[in-house]
Amino acid sequence: MPENALNDYLPVLMLLLFCVSFAGINLLASWALGKRAPTNPDKDSAFECGMQPLDQGRQRFSVRFYVVAMLFILFDVEVVFLYPWAIKYKALGMFALVEMLVFLGVLFIGWLYVVKKGALDWNTQPKPGRLNK
Amino acid sequence: MDTSQILNVFGIEMWLGVLALVLIVADLITGRGRLTGPADMVRLVAMGGLAVLLAYAFMLSPAEQASSWGTLDTFALFFKRFFIATALFTLLLSAPYEARFTGGRGEFPALVVFTTMGMCMLASVSDFVTLFVALELVTVTLFLLAAYRSGLPRSIEAGIKFVIIGAVAAAFLVYGIAFVYGTTGSLDFEGVRAALAATDEVPKGLTFGLLLVVVGLAFKLGAVPFHIWVPDVYQGAPTPVTAFLSVGSKAAGVVLLMRLVFTVLGPVAGQWATLLAGLAALSLLMGNLGAIPQKDMKRFLGYSGIAHAGFLLIAMAVQSEASASAVLFYMVAYLFANIAAFLVVIVVSRTPDNAHMDRINGLAERSPFLALALTVSMLSLAGVPPFAGFVGKFLILRAAVADPALLPVVILSLVMIVVSLYYYLCILKRMYFREPVDTGVLEITGSTRLILLVCVVASVVLGIYFNPLVVAAEKGAAALFG
């Protein structure tokens, strides 16, 4: 059984080998056959590979971005549950409606908590017991 | 729909969830981020709710037939009561500590109640998916609790270490569950048990999967070699949380490991005894020898907890009904002794805020009552006769000597009891024969006195009049073998 299962992946292995050898042969060929010209700043610049870097990649930015991103993911994922329920609403009936209301109730308390604790306030002065310190 | 079935099994959990939501809303309405005043009220509501639920758990009778969602047998009920009582003690412990929560304290009771909800679910799980969901509920809330003093670097450090270790443990567990499902096609405990019983030759994948699951749970239990997080997290976390971790989180590991070892692994018990005995021996050695040089009370209690995990693992290796009931008794004795110890640590470590062992020097002069409580707690943990810890150790060893193959571990554990006597008695020496380092007046509130009194009385009474609890433990353990 295991041999058969692996046989199905043979094309993947061949493609992998092809990719690696294609890249490898090209690099090797340009190294072996190409001329060595002295380097200059224009040659080292990013040619058609995006913008010139302005600054270091590691910058400090406000921790509030993390909080907002985290909250977005949280609520976004929870909303995913609403779609299958909405599609199958008729078939699931009363039970699912009550369940969904309970779920939304819990979600609502979570949202209330987020707002009251000031996680979404962007320009407030720090207060004790609040998130933005 | 089988809503009624779910509520039948997870009724307590539902009410715990409702209680936690009520606490969050109550904090939002009354607290508004203030630090004093109404937050005490939130804690009182939490304690009232937990007390009512504890009474409810005691009145509840086990469900007759197991549903596909979980089981509510006497074993599950025993641990549900245990977990709710632990949470109640934790909230009581946090009262004298709360002033140190500088970043707001309203969420603390709610988080404790959420953790308790997860723990109570763990007591009833009967399949691997519910197990994982409930365990994550416990772990994630405990991460937050460990890092609750967000202004304090060592609390953050404890939280982050706990997150990383918790993630590793969860990875082991899920990988193991995947193997179990892949080889048996079942996620039910019953189904896996049936698969194990059906063949003489257990598939290697299944054994591997179960091994990974056991490793994941051993992290929770704090057994060697998966113990490395215990001292650091215990030291850094706020002290009430450490108490909760040391009793509640350990019991969560115990309850799962017992279900796994005694029911799922039942048909192949013999093969696993050696492994569990090996873990027990390592934990006993590492915990007891590691505790000796400790200079911080919380680290010290962490190592002592590792040693106790070793004792619990001996009982799991025996795999008899007697050893299962001994574990239940041991956990209750451990609960009272540990809560008393941590409460004394909270009181003596107020200003400056650290739990260095010098802080208990000369405690007998400063407060004879605290010294007495810590003495009883240490002697109970050491397993000295008139206290509950002795009965727990005695029951485990009595069950263990029935199995001649475990004789080396039993002898090792006896040697280690002597070693543990040394370091527990060192604590007594500090309290009674050293000059105090601190001279400030200790602030002992009425509730502190009450909890310590309850713990001391319970440790003594369970050490002398142990029969009712032994009977209850036997009834609880019988459900596993039913």
Q: Which two tokens stand for residue B432?
A: 């009674």
Q: Quote the mean pLDDT of chain B.
A: 89
Q: Which of A106, A128, A133 sits opposite B35 (nearest CB)?
A: A128
Q: Are residues A8 and A37 in the same domain?
A: yes
The pLDDT tens digits for B314-329 are 999 988 899 999 999 9
Is the pLDDT confidence value at A32 over 60?
A: yes
Closest Cα in chain B to A131:
B103
Does A130 reside within a domain?
no
Does A50 reside within a domain?
no
CA gap B311, B189 in Å, rounded: 25
Query: Which residues of chain B make contact with A124, given a CB cutoff of 8 A?
Result: none
Does A32 reside within a domain?
yes
Q: Can you give the residue ranges of every domain in chain B?
A: 274-482
Lowest model confidence (mean pLDDT) among A82-91, B23-32, B140-149, B454-463: B23-32
- Asked whether the beta carbons of residue A128 and residue B21 sit closer than 8 angstroms, the reply is no
Cis peptide leading into B225, omega within 30 of 0? yes
- Asked whether the beta carbons of residue A128 and residue B25 sit closer than 8 angstroms, the reply is no
Is the pLDDT confidence value at A129 over 70?
A: no
Q: What is the pLDDT confidence band of residue B103, given thresholds at 50, 70 and 90?
A: low
Looking at the complex, report in whole angstroms how far the Cα of residue A56 sits from the nearest Cα belonging to chain B.
Answer: 27
Task: Report phi then psi at B262, rounded to 5.
Answer: -85, -35
| Total domains, chain A | 2
Query: Which residues of chain B make contact with A125, given a CB cutoff of 8 A?
Result: none
Query: Which residues of chain A make contact with B26, given a CB cutoff of 8 A?
Result: none
Instruction: Tally C-beta pairs within 8 A across A and B.
Output: 31
Q: Which of A95, A113, A133 sits opposite B28 (nearest CB)?
A: A113
CA gap A112, B22 in Å, rounded: 12
- The three-class DSSP label of residue B435 is coil
The pLDDT tens digits for B179-199 are 999 998 889 898 899 888 888
Query: Which residues of chain B make contact with A127, given a CB cutoff of 8 A?
Result: 33
Q: Give me the mean pLDDT over the B427-444 stretch.
A: 86
Q: What is the pLDDT confidence band of residue A116, given thresholds at 50, 70 and 90?
A: confident
- Asked whether the beta carbons of residue A129 and residue B24 sit closer than 8 angstroms, the reply is no
CA gap B10, B4 in Å, rounded: 10
Is the pLDDT confidence value at B34 over 70?
A: no
Side-chain half-sphere CA neighbours of B439 within 13 A: 1
Q: Count other C-beta atoms under 10 Å from residue B208's C-beta.
A: 15
| Residue closest to B6 by CA, chosen among B124, B132, B177, B138 | B124
Does A31 reside within a domain?
yes
Query: Which residues of chain A make contact with B28, given a CB cutoff of 8 A?
Result: 112-113, 116
Does A14 reside within a domain?
yes
Does A77 reside within a domain?
yes
CA B331 distance to own-chain centroid: 8
Interface predicted TM-score of the whole assembly (ipTM), two decimals: 0.77
Q: Are residues A32 and A72 in the same domain?
A: no
Q: Which two tokens stand for residue B419?
A: 């070693």
Q: Are residues A70 and A108 in the same domain?
A: yes
- Asked whether the beta carbons of residue A128 and residue B33 sit closer than 8 angstroms, the reply is yes
Establish if A60 touches chain B: CB-CB under 8 angstroms.
Answer: no
For an interface test with A, the pick among B2, B15, B18, B25 (most A C-beta atoms closer than 10 Å) comes out as: B25
Establish if A101 touches chain B: CB-CB under 8 angstroms.
Answer: no
Rg, Å, chain B Cα set: 21
B85-102 burial, b if ≥16 CB within 10 A, otherwise e? bbbbbbbbbbbbbbebbe
Closest Cα in chain A to B151:
A133
Closest Cα in chain A to B105:
A129
Instruction: Provide DSSP, B35-99.
Output: SSSHHHHHHHHHHHHHHHHHHHHHH----SS-BTTB---HHHHHHHHHHHHHHHHHHHHHGGGGG
Q: Give me the mean pLDDT over the B105-123 stretch.
A: 91
Is the pLDDT confidence value at A132 over 50?
A: no
Q: What is the pLDDT confidence band of residue B32, given thresholds at 50, 70 and 90?
A: low
Query: Which residues of chain B make contact with A116, given a CB cutoff of 8 A?
Result: 28, 32
The pLDDT tens digits for B227-268 are 999 999 999 999 999 999 999 999 999 999 999 998 888 888
- Asked whether the beta carbons of residue A130 and residue B33 sit closer than 8 angstroms, the reply is yes
| Residues B245, B115 contacting (CB under 8 angstroms) | no
Side-chain half-sphere CA neighbours of A20 within 13 A: 6
Domain that residue A17 falls in? 2-44
Is the pLDDT confidence value at B335 over 90?
A: yes
pLDDT score recorded for residue B65: 62
| Residues B248, B86 contacting (CB under 8 angstroms) | yes
CA gap B146, A33 in Å, rounded: 62
Q: Token pair 């969830």 is at which residue? A: B17
Instruction: Provide DSSP, B162-183.
Output: HHHHHHHHHHHHHHHHHHHHHH
Name the DSSP class of A130.
Answer: S
CA gap A104, A81 in Å, rounded: 10
- Asked whether the beta carbons of residue B103 and residue A128 sit closer than 8 angstroms, the reply is yes
Instruction: Provide DSSP, B130-153.
Output: HHHHHHHHHHHHHHHHHT--TT-H
The CATH number linked to A78 is: 1.20.58.1610
Q: Token pair 């907002």 is at which residue? A: A68
The pLDDT tens digits for B260-304 are 998 888 888 888 889 999 999 999 999 999 999 999 999 999 999
Q: Give me the mean pLDDT over the A45-74 stretch.
A: 81
Cis peptide leading into B352, omega within 30 of 0? yes
Q: Which of A13-27, A43-57, B430-444 has the highest mean pLDDT?
A: A13-27
pLDDT score recorded for residue A1: 45
Q: What is the pLDDT confidence band of residue A126, given thresholds at 50, 70 and 90?
A: low
Q: What is the pLDDT confidence band of residue B457, given thresholds at 50, 70 and 90?
A: very high
The pLDDT tens digits for B41-92 are 888 889 999 999 999 999 888 876 666 778 888 999 999 999 999 999 999 9
Residue ranges of chain B whose CB lies within 8 Å of a chain A CB: 1, 3, 21, 24-25, 28, 31-35, 102-104, 106
For an interface test with B, the pick among A116, A125, A131, A132 (most B C-beta atoms closer than 10 Å) comes out as: A116
Angle between helices B153-184 and B204-221 (to 10 degrees): 160
pLDDT score recorded for residue A26: 93
Q: Give me the mean pLDDT over the B453-469 stretch.
A: 93
Q: Which of B28, B32, B35 sits opposite A112 (nearest CB)?
A: B28
| Residues B28, A112 contacting (CB under 8 angstroms) | yes
Amino acid residing at B315: A
Q: Report the percentage of chain A scoring pLDDT > 90.
A: 20
Whole-structure pTM value: 0.88
pLDDT score recorded for residue B11: 87
Is the pLDDT confidence value at B1 over 50?
A: no
